Every structure is written in C-alpha cells, then in structure tokens.
Amino acid sequence: MSAGSLIIAGLGPGNPDMVTPEVQAALDVATDIVGYIPYVERVAARPGLTLHPTDNRVELERAQHAIEMALTGKHVVVVSSGDPGVFAMAAAVFEAVDEGPADWRNLDIRVLPGITAMLAASAAAGAPLGHDFCAINLSDNLKPWDLIERRLRLAAEGDFAMAFYNPRSKSRPEGFEKTVAILQEACGDARPVIFARAVSTSDQTIRVVPLDQVTPDMADMRTMVIVGSSRTRIITRDGDPYIYTPRSVPK
C-alpha cells in the first residue's frame, strides 16, 4: 500500500471561528484524527473518520502511532490546541521521526499553523506583545525547574514582555508561586500582568493586575499569563483598559 500523509494542525485557542480554513480543509479529508482527549473532542465525528484520543503524557507514543498509520496509506491529522509548533505536537512528531526507522523520513509531513492562546490573549487585552517578548512554558514535566528559573531571571534582566504557558496546575502549584516571587524580586515594579482565562471562548475572562499585587492563586491551567515589560502602558477608559507595549525604545 502506498504511503498516506501526516498533517500536524493547530485548532486555535478554542473559538471555532479561529480554526483556519487550511486546517478545516485538512480535517475534512482526514481518515484519522490523533491527539489529546479534549482536543480530539473538538473535531466533529463523521463517516469514514476514526478518532484516536489519548492522555496528555504520551506525546511521543501518540506521534509514533500517527506515523505508523500514515505509512499504511491513511491520511492522519495530529491535532493540538493553539499552534502545533508552540509547546505542542509538531516537535513531538519530528522527534519521533528523528529517532525512528530511516523510512519514516520519507513520509509526507506538513505542519499547519494555528492561532496560539498567547496571541489570542494579547489581542483580547490590546497589544502587550507589541515589542520584544518571550514565551516560557512553566511546566517542569520535561525540563528541570532550575532551567525555568534561569530563563525567568534572564527574561526579566532583558526587560522582555513574557507569556507563560501552563502556569499553575493542581498537582504542582508551587511553580507559579516561585515564578511570581522571582518576578516581583527581579522586576521590582508594578508593570501590568494579564490573566486571560479560557481565552476566545464564552467563558473568557481578562483580568489585569499590577505585578506587585499578583498572587499565585490568580492563575490555573486554563489561564494564559502575560507580563508586560517596563515599557508596557495602560490606556484607561470607560470600559476595560487597553494595554500595549510601544514598538520603539528611546535611544
């Protein structure tokens, strides 16, 4: 049987309107959908489509399964929320290819981008990522905490705006507690911190808190946290404020 294809697609942050036409077209012709349980649930069932939902901590096994199915002639789509290249399944699939049999390298693999929670949260608040910024995954499942702490301190020293993925889970709440303490010490000011929960969905909430008033319980795993730089500004108005970081820095 001739080889099929493998697409790694981003479903966006949650709102179906934010799924790109390119991704929807791939979903419409797929024979198999592979991904983390809640992401696969976002894909509508139809005749001829098989759904393969799996737990969140089996990324490499999920990638291997998708590759093996594609090599039998199936048209497989591996789904991630947001963008598949941002702390998601694209890297897992290529890691599997890199470590797998030589014939896996000849498989037709495409990555289809999606709107990240980071960008959706930034847009909901205004333009806090309007200048230099960095994104940091606060989960220490796949990297040591001391590396996360080092990157936090360097980002603060460089005066980057910062976007945090996976800030605080029930099983490891201490990570965000440490993050808040590090930033309050390293930045030493009241720059705005945006807590965008369930961004782009009907449950969306946007909360803006000065850094020196942030407490760890303000975030959970459905929250995207954006910390402004020292240059980030708040425009007060009758409704919710606009938050932006100017595109330039005085020389």
Domains and CATH numbers, the chain: 5-115 (3.40.1010.10), 118-244 (3.30.950.10)
Exposed / middle / buried, residue 89 (Cβ in 10 Å: 0-12, 13-18, 19+)? buried
Query: Tens-of-pLDDT digits for all 251 residues of the chain?
Result: 457 899 999 999 999 999 999 999 999 999 999 999 999 999 999 999 999 999 877 889 999 999 999 999 999 999 999 999 999 999 999 999 999 999 999 999 999 999 999 999 999 999 999 999 999 999 988 899 999 999 999 999 999 999 999 998 777 778 899 999 999 999 988 899 999 999 999 999 999 999 999 999 999 889 999 999 999 999 999 988 999 999 998 88
The Cα–Cα gap between 243 and 133 comes to: 15
CA atoms within 13 A on the CB side of 186: 20
Amino acid present at 164 = F
Amino acid present at 132 = D
Residue with tokens 């333009």: 127
Determine the pLDDT at residue 215. 94
E strand or H helix that includes residue 101 = none
Exposed / middle / buried, residue 216 (Cβ in 10 Å: 0-12, 13-18, 19+)? middle
